[in-house]
Amino acid sequence: MSSDNAASTPYLIRGATLPDGTRTDLVLADGRIAEIGSGLSRAGASVVDAAGLIALPGLVDLHTHLREPGGEQSETILSGSQAAAVGGFTSVFAMANTSPVQDTAGVVDQVLALGEQAGYVTVQPIGAVTVGLAGERLAELGAMATSRARVRVFSDDGFCVSDPLLMRRALEYVKAFDGVVAQHSQEPRLTEKAQMNEGALSSELGMVGWPAVAEESIIARDVLLAEHVGSRLHVCHVSTAGSVDVIRWAKARGIQVTAEATPHHLMLTEDLVVGYDARFKVNPPLRRREDVEALRAGLADGTIDIVATDHAPHPIEAKDCEWDAAANGMVGLESALSVVHASVIDTGLLDWNDIARVLSSTPARIGRLAGQGQGLLVGGPAELTLYDPAASRVFGRGSLAGKSANSPYLEMTLPGRVQATFHRGYATVLDGALRPAAEIAAQGVRTHG
Amino acid sequence: MRHLLSTKGMSRDEAILLLDIAEDMADVANREVKKLPTLRGKTVVNLFFEDSTRTRISFEAAAKRLSADVINFSAKGSSVSKGESLKDTAQTLAAMGADGVVIRHPASGAPHVLAESGWIDAGIINAGDGTHEHPTQALLDAFTIRRRLHRGAARGKGLDGVTVTIVGDVLHSRVARSNLWLLTTLGAHVTFIAPPTLLPMDMSGWPAEAGFDLDAAIDAGPDVVMMLRIQQERMNAAFFPNSREYSRRWGLDDERFGRLAPTTIVMHPGPMNRGLEISSAAADSAGSTVREQVANGVSVRMAALYLLLSGDREDS
């Protein structure tokens, strides 16, 4: 396999398996998929042997925390983009809870530009719903929508837009530019000082519980609001069986609601809290086995539309402490595809076509993101990832490419491995290794003009 | 015994061993010279992130009677608000050569984290972590019950068949949780009585009965009634309307106390709210063990320090 990644170099990918199971060659040239078929050849192309590898459309994460500006000690737009590329992603939606908050056109445009400079993935900023995420008055949603960043997804993630009137207005207002409100569904009064899922285990450990009803009641309210005003609602990180039921009901009623589940809520359960290892502290918290099963079933039947990582980097000291003092959140970009593989492919609930849907085409559609999630089509953008489904690895610190190590999967054996990622026609990952930042930045400059 | 973090998971043999050693320690308290040389040269740190004068001085007396050097480290307020992390505090104590750390912390699991972190090599005693556990309180309660029932012949015995009714704010009580596990391990039968708002949300895994009716529980004739302290601020969080109503429904008042058999043991971990969860007549009665509990607390904590810190700590 060539390591040549020069500007104009086409790629000939040999013998890849498409999500539908057919084997094919692909030629990438000039940022597009130039050809798909068997026995292809291309003069001057770098040849990638993809025997045994699945070719997936480039993955799109609707829920990433890149921390820049303001939290550069835990992640930067560059380091988070690298983590994304290693995980097979070609685009991430950057959540608004930066410092300063992404609540003005100026900040979202800065995030967009830094993403372009890094060059590993498309960084699509999310705009805050309310000024400073304070839940008091609407941010300049229209200005962010018409800025260069073309924001379509608005979220106060980390905080719930709990005021019902403000939520109603936000849902209504974003219709002006086909936007969507992505809600962090958490009734604040029901979750004061909450530390973990409320249930038998929290009762035993004496920890303040985060009850399922605090999520489900907000989702129920929001789907009814969305129905009432005819708007699009997206539900972030659904974590309970009851939430799946509410969303299933809303969809049957014709309400325009979409929902995401995180890889960790599809795999991990609350009993991991027992050892007080703060890597397992996350919001919403890890739930019961029944909730995990309900999320998987919901993803399989389409109630849950997508998988999104909620990649949340934190510095060492935010986790190396007693449970109550620890920050919520886990990094997830690098492990996402393997965790989804273990959770819903190996259990026979989804196939690779479904993976392309829940991790690429549908998140791009919900976020109204051009140039992503279009599948593997001749003439389409050269955004794809090559994944080795037969691999197995002990996930370790070396598996992480971002700045932070707060992964719940360290020392776990996970299936699969991303072998290569192509973004705008150039390789960001080859032979399972990240391409150097300078090389990728040059590609970014070249293709963004 | 390497650490004493919880009573959950403690075996019956371990518990009885500790209680028997506490009997020996109690004998020391009756001698003219109340001091043993056992832990001479050892350093015990009382690391208290919450105010608790009673528990701290009990541990301090226990350590001093075993001739240990005692350092009191009051780190009130959360580690975060104080600016120093638990890790840095632990490493500071390790650098000072602490052999044992008695920790009281508002976060469930903080003693566990301290014991497992590798930050410090000392033996760790949990002196109360959040609303999780308070193992030495449960041990002194078990010790007190056993002594009352068996007097001088308590050594080697459990609490088989003893019925214990624990009344009050079970939800926020580390004393209730530690007693649940220890008393049932020793063979007792535990019943919790509380307003529905002050019982944990899911007690399905608890080897205990739960109910709301104190009168029915009194009339069932338990061997032991343990009243838990009710915190006045719970009213503001809507757990119950006001102290008058709480006292009327869930307080051990004179009338209810009068219905108990004269042999019933009346316990309270202290400090008491007289007239709220317990009447003065009940607290000061012959059946009350409130002051014995304080005295026994020193003996039990001596036993715990002895087991953790004497000789080669890797031996249990």
Q: Quote the minimal CA–CA distance from B67 to chain A in Å.
A: 31
Which pLDDT belongs to residue B173?
Answer: 96
Query: Which band of pLDDT confidence, cut at 50, 70 and 90, is reported for residue A2?
Result: very low
pLDDT digits (tens, 9 = 90+) for B225-237: 999 999 877 777 8
The CA distances from residue B48 to A73, A139, B106, B111, B296, in Å, are: 32, 45, 9, 11, 21
Q: Which of A128, A121, A119 is nearest to A98 (CA)?
A: A128
**Residue of chain A nearest B78, judged by CA positions:** A325
d(CA A409, CA A335): 8
CB-based contact B107 A198, cutoff 8 Å:
no
- 3-state DSSP call for residue B3? coil
Say if domain B3-134+295-310 classifies as CATH 3.40.50.1370.
yes
Type of residue numbered A411: E
Domains and CATH numbers, chain A: 11-54+380-439 (2.30.40.10), 67-367 (3.20.20.140)
pLDDT digits (tens, 9 = 90+) for B167-215: 999 999 999 999 999 999 999 999 999 999 999 999 999 999 999 999 9
pLDDT digits (tens, 9 = 90+) for B104-160: 999 999 999 999 989 999 999 999 999 999 999 999 999 999 999 999 999 999 999
H helices of A147-287, in order, are 164-173, 200-205, 212-229, 241-252, 263-267
d(CA B2, CA B316): 7
pTM of the model: 0.95
Which pLDDT belongs to residue A26?
Answer: 98
**Residue carrying structure tokens 């097979």:** A88
Which pLDDT belongs to residue B313?
Answer: 47
Which pLDDT belongs to residue A8?
Answer: 67
pLDDT digits (tens, 9 = 90+) for A347-361: 999 999 999 999 999
For CA atoms A111, A116, A119, A121, give the dihedral sign. positive
d(CA A71, CA B31): 62
Does B80 score more than 50 pLDDT?
A: no
d(CA B33, CA A95): 68
Which pLDDT belongs to residue B236?
Answer: 75
d(CA B51, CA B47): 10
Q: Is the minimum CB–CB distance between A444 and chain B shorter than 8 Å? A: no
Start-to-end C-alpha separation, chain A? 28
pLDDT digits (tens, 9 = 90+) for A19-72: 999 999 999 999 999 999 999 999 999 999 999 999 999 999 999 999 999 999
Is B229 annotated to bind a ligand? Reply is: yes
Q: Which of A212, A191, A188, A134 is nearest to A166 (CA)?
A: A134
Beta carbons within 8 Å of A234's beta carbon, 6+ residues apart: A62, A153, A180, A181, A182, A183, A257, A258, A259, A260, A366
- What mean pLDDT value characterizes chain B? 94
Q: What is the mean pLDDT of residues A104-125?
A: 98
CATH architecture of the domain with range B135-289: 3-Layer(aba) Sandwich (3.40)
Q: Hey, what are A326's tokens?
A: 């620890």
CB A236 within 8 A of CB A182: yes
Parts of chain B belonging to CATH 3.40.50.1370: 3-134+295-310, 135-289
Which pLDDT belongs to residue A1?
Answer: 41
Q: Quote the minimal CA–CA distance from A332 to chain B in Å.
A: 24
Q: What is the mean pLDDT of residues A287-310?
A: 98
Q: Are strands B224-227 and B163-167 parallel, antiparallel or unpaired?
A: parallel
Chain A residues with beta carbon closer than 8 angstroms to that of B107 = 322-325
Does A159 score more than 60 pLDDT?
A: yes
Q: What is the mean pLDDT of residues B279-307?
A: 97
Does A263 score more than 90 pLDDT?
A: yes
Lowest mean pLDDT among A79-93, B59-73, B231-245: B231-245
Residues 195-214 of chain A with CB under 8 A from chain B are 195, 198-200, 202-207, 209, 211
CB B103 within 8 A of CB B50: no
Does A258 score more than 50 pLDDT?
A: yes
Q: Is the ipTM of this complex over 0.90?
A: yes
Which pLDDT belongs to residue A7?
Answer: 55
Helix axes A437-448, A105-118, angle to 10 degrees: 120
